[in-house]
């Protein structure tokens, strides 16, 4: 075995080669436990993201949120604050039955007993269930053109450039793109993006906009968000 100084990613930035197979060690007073890393990169990393933007959702979290809405590709989905596009990429992947992580590699592929033939069979079977690429009723909006560029880059990297409609628009002025559907967004929430005073002004306006056209709810872990109600 070849020891790697510091954490592997930090070691790579210092010019050290990454290990082919990582073994994690957890030490307590009585014992040391070794874990063989079969994932490689964290599993939330699907392999398509080229520009994460600021404060992005993890891909697997975005996919779970889409699933919780009950959305399917026959209904409209609007993300009026799409940022780098994680929600709409994951929605498009889900709508087209594209298996998550198909564009990345995994740690187990570097193990001595790895069966490449069997893995290719499993992977090909999952890919065979995909729907044909098509324009989906998914609408991505953002106030800032630079964010839309990131979303377009990520959609194209995922092979979904023609599946989602992108348009520059302010959420406070964005009309519904369809008569019914799902509105889903990851709005600014203060601790990472946006000063609290600006958010205190923004959220009542957002509430006024949404309550005129939608039934909407906000999921948040911030107790301070209660002060932003309109």
Per-residue model confidence as pLDDT tens digits over 51-75: 877 777 899 999 999 999 999 988 9
pTM of the model: 0.80
Average pLDDT over residues 127-149: 94
> What's the DSSP call for residue 130?
P
Please, which pLDDT band fits residue 32 given cuts at 50, 70 and 90?
very high
pLDDT at 115 over 60: yes
Please, which pLDDT band fits residue 25 given cuts at 50, 70 and 90?
very high
Q: Give me the pLDDT at residue 223, please.
A: 59
pLDDT tens digit sequence for 160-190: 999 999 999 998 887 788 888 888 988 876 6
Please, which pLDDT band fits residue 6 given cuts at 50, 70 and 90?
low
pLDDT at 21 over 90: no
pLDDT at 36 over 80: yes
For tokens 């404060």, the residue is 55
The DSSP line for 133-149 is: P---SEEEEES-HHHHH
Half-sphere exposure of 1 (CA within 13 A, CB side): 7
Residues 6 or more apart in contact with residue 226 via CB below 8 angstroms: none
Q: Give me the pLDDT at residue 212, please.
A: 66
Q: Give me the pLDDT at residue 13, please.
A: 58
Hey, CA dihedral for 144, 226, 71, 178, is it positive or negative?
negative
């Amino acid at each position: 075995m070849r020891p790697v100084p510091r954490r592997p990613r930090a070691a790579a930035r210092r010019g050290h080669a990454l290990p082919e197979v990582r073994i994690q060690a957890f030490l307590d007073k009585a014992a040391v436990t070794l874990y063989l890393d079969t994932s490689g990169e964290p599993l939330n990393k699907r392999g398509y993201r080229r520009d994460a933007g600021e404060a992005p959702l993890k891909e697997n979290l975005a996919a779970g949120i889409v699933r919780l809405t009950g959305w399917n590709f026959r209904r409209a989905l609007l993300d009026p604050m799409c940022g780098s596009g994680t929600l709409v990429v994951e929605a498009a992947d889900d709508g087209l039955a594209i298996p998550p992580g198909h564009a990345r590699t995994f740690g187990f592929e570097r193990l001595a007993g790895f069966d490449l033939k069997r893995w290719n069979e499993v992977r090909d079977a999952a890919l065979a269930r995909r729907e044909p690429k098509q324009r989906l009723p998914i609408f991505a909006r953002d106030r800032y053109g630079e964010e839309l560029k990131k979303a377009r880059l990520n959609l194209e990297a995922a092979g979904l450039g023609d599946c989602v409609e992108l348009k520059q628009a302010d959420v406070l002025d964005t009309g519904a793109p369809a008569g019914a559907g799902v509105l889903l967004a990851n709005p600014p929430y203060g601790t990472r993006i946006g000063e609290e005073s600006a958010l205190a002004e923004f959220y009542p306006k957002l509430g006024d906009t949404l309550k005129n056209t939608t039934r909407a709810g906000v999921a948040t872990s911030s107790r301070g968000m209660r002060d932003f109600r309109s």
